[in-house]
Amino acid sequence: MRVFLIAGELSGDKLGAALMRGLKSRLPDVEFRGVAGPLMQAEGMASLFDMTELSIMGIVEVLPKYFALKRRIRETAQAALDWKADVVISIDSPDFCLRVAKILKAQSNIPTVHYVAPSVWAWREGRGPKMAKVIDHVLALLPFEPPLMQKSGMTCDFVGHPIVAEPKATQDEADAFRASHGLSSETPLILALPGSRRGEVSRLGGIFGAALAQAVKEIPKARVVLPIAPGVRNLVRELVEGWDISPPVILLETDSSAAGQAEKRAAFAAADIALAASGTVSLELAHARTPMVIAYDMNWLSRKMIARLLKVDTVTLVNLVSERRDVPEFLGENCRPENIAPALVDLWKSPQSQLASMEITMERLGEGGEDPGARAAESVIVALAP
């Protein structure tokens, strides 16, 4: 089987890699082509171009890249057509992926699968019916999404979130991480996660730095650790140099290697609390049982436009899946250091409610069940069956 995959972000790269493993275990002769990140490439797939070209978020942020993205859309669709793919599986990044699918539907009968249901429960409800015109089958990460996709005219399976199958650092590994950085078991450790895209890191870097500087003054002997996402190393280092935090922030050079991922997991497990940009990282923190405060801001125009369309009172997945509101979040105009810092201090003092929400979330996402990548692969195979 020829499977053409498209991933546009680091989170999509994780989903794609898990799906590839699941497909390889069921279909020994499966072949892969498309757009991939480092994890998918490690599974044996060459990428048409650098996936980071698609890692753009925000309406205004896309405008300078519009014509380059249009060209990549055409190139990607043509590559799938030329290869005569048996199925095209797009992973998240709907603004790019669904445009590719539209071209494919106009020129072929190649089945299309989209991995990650659009958040129609959050905003832009009309995306479901539009998506159904170009997508045949959906792989959903959240248990409440299949009925919404089916209502729009697509088949859909809840396959769980791959985060539940990812390894966790042991307590020994967390202790070793602390020891390697000269931290005792009693030292409060705050994890800083300002994002993986250049745009969001640039916007959030100063806000996070100021919030953390205030928080560490209220948390005795606290330290801050920041794992640096690939692609933003120099930018993060420059930003952190301007942070008024003492002792200095511990910077981790993480990458997709086994050692890099192991150190990142150890940092998550060793941390007492985290300040993170909004996104799927909230599930990584829930998986590690690391209590968090979420903060995010966008370009002013993007912020105003999205705020008008938003249908829910929270964007944090832990809050949504658990159906509780224990993760504090500061978005848009509320993403300010003077708001964020007290929430970090309060969370450090009393994390119990949030830890309970994390337990509920991970259970509902499939923790302890069949590997989500395997479930996704089976869903694709069944959907393609005659």
At 241-261, the pLDDT tens digits run: 999 999 999 999 888 788 888
pLDDT value at residue 206: 96
Max CA distance (Å), the chain: 64
Share above pLDDT 70 across residues of the chain, in percent, rounded to a whole number: 93
What is the pLDDT of the chain when averaged over all its residues?
A: 91
**Residue range 156-180, pLDDT digits in tens:** 999 998 889 889 999 999 999 999 9
pLDDT value at residue 258: 85
Interatomic CA distance for residues 224 and 203, integer angstroms: 19
Q: Is the pLDDT of residue 270 over 50?
A: yes
Amino acid in the structure at residue 217: K
Asked if residues 278 and 195 have their Cβ atoms less than 8 Å apart, the reply is no
Q: Which segment of 63-67, 110-114, 232-236 scores lowest on mean pLDDT?
A: 63-67
pLDDT value at residue 123: 54
Q: Which segment of 157-166, 210-219, 287-296 scores lowest on mean pLDDT?
A: 157-166
192: left (phi over 0), alpha (psi -120 to 50) or beta: beta
Residue 309 banded pLDDT, cuts 50, 70, 90:
low
Asked if residues 264 and 274 have their Cβ atoms less than 8 Å apart, the reply is no
pLDDT value at residue 197: 83
pLDDT value at residue 75: 97
Q: What pTM was computed for the model?
A: 0.76
Q: Which segment of 51-65, 346-360, 365-379 scores lowest on mean pLDDT?
A: 51-65
Residue 312 banded pLDDT, cuts 50, 70, 90:
confident
For residue 372, give both structure tokens.
């989500």
Residue 299 banded pLDDT, cuts 50, 70, 90:
confident
In the predicted model, what is the mean pLDDT of residues 195-223?
Answer: 94
Asked if residues 87 and 112 have their Cβ atoms less than 8 Å apart, the reply is yes
Residue 98 banded pLDDT, cuts 50, 70, 90:
very high
In the block, which residue shows the tokens 């301007």? 242
